[in-house]
Structure 1
Amino acid sequence: MAQTVAQAFDPSIWHISNMELTLRLVLALVLGGLIGLERELGGHSAGFRTHILVCVGSAAIVLLSMYGFSEFAADPNVRLDPSRLAAQVVSGIGFLGAGTILRTGITVSGLTTAASLWVVAAIGLTVGAGFYYGSAVLTFLVVVSLFVLNKFEKKFSRAKSKRDIVLKMTKDSACLSNVVTELHHFGIQISKIIVENEEAAAGDIAEMLIVRLQVKLNYKKRFEEVIVSLATITGVIGIESGGESL
């Protein structure tokens, strides 16, 4: 007589040893830390600890989903789905990644960090499920992309390293002078500067200046830091940074 599903069921597949459990969590910590280290060295919003926590947390959720309910495995009225909890990580990590994306004027930054958090969550899921080789290869590819390809990207984008900055400031020659001095302090060259009077109502005298700058970036300084520094100058009312201009 053919065996029933219950008789053929092997409950051992729903159990994991403490040694194996520890190995998977530690491996998730190491792999997540490798990617987080690159983000930390680059001074990004989500760094070393954040990537470790995401990777270890994702691995823990997979482990819980696969082995946390083993006492119910033999119950014929219970149907276990190891992928149910793990699937929620993929959608849930989007909320954390969104917090790393910043918009300054029309310039958007933090997309790479958000993507690194997403892929670190995937690595955690892979480690938690026991795919050690796959998780190691994935981590290697991500580290190469962040460390090596980043250098190539900067090298080949030198010709496109100009940005547009639009400043709204008071009619004070000292204010414009301070802006130029601050840019030089960051090692940024000014390629073009246009000063215009702000449009005023008919019969009124314009009280503000619109200064349009085209600057050449210095990759040793983060562009966001330059914008924040310019915004603190006395007399600067508003600032908008544009995308790369050829």
Structure 2
Amino acid sequence: MELLPQLWVVGGAAYAMLLGGAIGLERELKNRPAGFRTHMLVAGASSLLIGMGQLTIHDPRFRLPFLVNIDPLRLVEAVVAGVSFIGAGTIFARRSGQAIAGITTAASLLMVAVIGASTGLRYHMLAFASTLLTLLVLTVLKAFERRAGTGKGLRGSDGGPPSPDGG
């Protein structure tokens, strides 16, 4: 396998890690169960998995139809399934009483996985715009919820007391 295409995949993973790190930093500053490094690693792993799939499509060792049948969306599904386990861990990690915490962090991990998949497929502008939108949701909309007096800041997702995660 040629070196240059592999370097493009590594570069895409680095870009995904940078974008994931921006979201992870926001989570880290709010002292959430998954922060800077976790978000970077999820985004980078997602990008690498998708990038490896892309490389495999063009690898002459796998061109015979009976050896590999690749569908890029199946790779994305595999990434989402893997991240779901990590997300579930962040939810259960901060469970107390009736309130469940960590759901927003689990969702942010899913977003960085999708951002990583976007970079793996070389949709770099899509990944960047998605990062900005995610940061907007995590920061600006949280402030809006507080001002409007709505959302989890007042009541938990089950209608009970406020969630310790608060988003």
Q: Normalising by the residue count of structure 2, what TM-score does the alignment of the two structures yield?
A: 0.81
Distance apart, 1:66 and its partner CA = 1.6
Change (3 A) 1:146 1:162: closer
Offset of 1:73 from its aligned partner?
3.8
User: What is the root-mean-square deviation in Å for CA atoms of aligned residues?
Assistant: 2.8
Write the distance in 2 (CA, Å) between the matches of 1:61 and 1:20. 13
- Which one scores higher on RCO, CA 8 angstroms, separation ≥ 6? 2
Deviations 1:109-131 (A, max 9, x none): 11100100011101001111101
Q: Note if contact 1:16-1:67 (Cα within 8 Å) is conserved in structure 2.
A: no
Cα distance in 1, alignment partners of residues 88 and 41 from structure 2: 17
Q: 2:26 aligns with which of 38, 53, 56?
A: 38
Per-residue deviation at 1:152? 1.0
Tell me what 1:56 maps to.
Answer: 44
2:161 aligned residue:
243
In structure 2, what is the equivalent of residue 228 of structure 1?
Answer: none
Q: Which amino acid aligns with 1:93?
A: V
Aligned partners of 2:10 and 2:48 also within 8 Å: no
> 1:16: Cα distance to partner?
5.7
Pairing of 1:66-145 with structure 2 (within 5 A): 66-68=54-56, 70-83=59-72, 84-101=74-91, 102-145=94-137
| Greater fraction of residues in helix | 2
Higher strand share: 1
Query: Hey, what's the Cα distance between the residues in 1 that align with 2:71 and 2:135?
Result: 29
Percent of aligned positions that are identical: 37
Which runs of 5 or more residues in structure 1 are unaligned? 1-13, 164-241
Q: Which residue in 1 is equivalent to 2:143?
A: 151
- Once residues 56 and 3 of structure 2 are traced to their aligned partners in structure 1, the CA distance between those partners, rounded to angstroms, is 8
Does the 8 A contact of 1:58 with 1:121 survive in 2?
yes
Whole-Å separation in 2 of the counterparts to 1:143 and 1:162 = 22
Unpaired runs of at least 5, structure 2: 163-167
Whether the aligned pair in 1 keeps the contact of 2:87 and 2:107 (CA below 8 Å) is yes
Distance 1:76 1:152 in 2: 53
User: Take 1:21 and 1:91, find their aligned partners in 2: how far apart are those partners?
Assistant: 22
8 Å Cα contact 2:5-2:55 kept in structure 1:
no
> What is the number of residues matched between the two proteins?
155
Tell me if the contact between 1:65 and 1:86 (Cα under 8 Å) persists in the aligned partners: no
Q: Structure 2: which amino acid aligns with 1:55?
A: A
Q: SS where residue 36 of structure 1 aligns?
A: helix
Larger radius of gyration: 1
Q: Secondary structure at the match of 2:67?
A: coil
